[in-house]
Structure 1
């Protein structure tokens, strides 16, 4: 790779990663349609699963990167479908706690199975060493991004 090509690659790397992420979400959206889930529905389920039960609604919104009112509409739909339960926080009655309902846990199991199959199909041509190296790179980028965000806030 020439110096000029290296510079172009570096300038486009984060753009390409963002594009890759959007395309991956499109693949997931297609896979989850058979479960009756849209992007707006499956993401909160997975985030809640990874964050654990009794998560404050505002923390889930922050994890998803969406505003509280937008999340409220989505959660209302998931609650109506019996996938999530909402309760008051005993320490702050204004705050709402979220928990996966039994149907939500079953749905997350189905989602995880589909994700595992898709990840296997996508990554099976890469060696474990390549995957570990890429994971390390992404972790370093996440750390640098967090440092940059902190610096810009301060």
Structure 2
């Protein structure tokens, strides 16, 4: 790769206007497009099961949280707003995939539990995602995957921690 100075302090609009780009811009675009395409692919493959990537994320977050976690904790884990999760839980509960149980310590709070039907649905979605993931990464070495993990999680964590303010 060519030795290119970081974009820092440069205006990406001017680069675009001139028909140019920059590695940091291309990387940002690639991350966005990869995430979108992955979700779209999962949604396509889950459609025959009447499921979606969003439903998989919600079920996985519940099942991978401490037992009987509260709705608010799951929303935080998914980095979504409470009302968004509430709508998703309404649908999952109507389909018999989750239960909302009253919290004995706080009647205003609902605890979440994945039902056996929810576990079965989640397993089916994981099976499909595993097959797609295996095909997606089959041409990469373990070292390349480790490096991608390190770099991508570094970006995710930096975004989650909040970027320094623009000056």
Give the TM-score range, shorter chain.
Answer: 0.7 to 0.9
User: Are positions 1:9 and 2:23 aligned together?
Assistant: yes
Tell me, in whole angstroms, the C-alpha distance in 2 between the residues paired with 1:101 and 1:9. Answer: 46
C-alpha change, 1:135 and 1:39, in structure 2 (3 Å) is closer
Please tell me whether residue 53 in structure 1 is matched to residue 67 in structure 2: yes
Consecutive unaligned residues of structure 2, counting only runs of 5 or more, are: 8-21
Deviations 1:12-38 (A, max 9, x none): 322320221011000000111111113
Q: TM-score, normalised by structure 1?
A: 0.86
Residue 108 of structure 1 deviates from its aligned partner by 1.1
Which one of the candidate residues 104, 129, 135 is aligned to 1:115?
129
1:96 aligns with 2:129: no
Length-normalised TM-score, structure 2 = 0.80
CA distance in 1 between counterparts of 2:57 and 2:33 reads 18
Query: What's the CA shift for 1:44?
Result: 1.1
Counterpart-to-counterpart distance in 1, 2:35 and 2:87:
25
Q: How many residues align?
A: 151
Q: Secondary structure at the match of 1:23?
A: helix
Structure 1 unaligned spans of 5+: none
CA contact (8 A) 1:82 1:103 kept: yes
In 2, the alpha carbon distance for the partners of 1:127 and 1:100 equals 35
Q: Does 1:63 align with 2:77?
A: yes
RMSD (CA atoms)? 2.1
Which of the pair has the greater relative contact order for Cα pairs under 8 Å at 6+ separation? Answer: 1
Whether 2:61 is the aligned partner of 1:24: answer no
CA 1:61–1:114: 2 relative to 1, 3 Å: same
User: Using the alignment, how far apart are the partners of 2:85 and 2:155 within structure 1?
Assistant: 28
Q: Max radius of gyration: which structure?
A: 2
| Other-structure match for 1:136 | 150
- Distance across 1 between alignment mates of 2:85 and 2:148: 32
- Distance across 1 between alignment mates of 2:117 and 2:52: 16
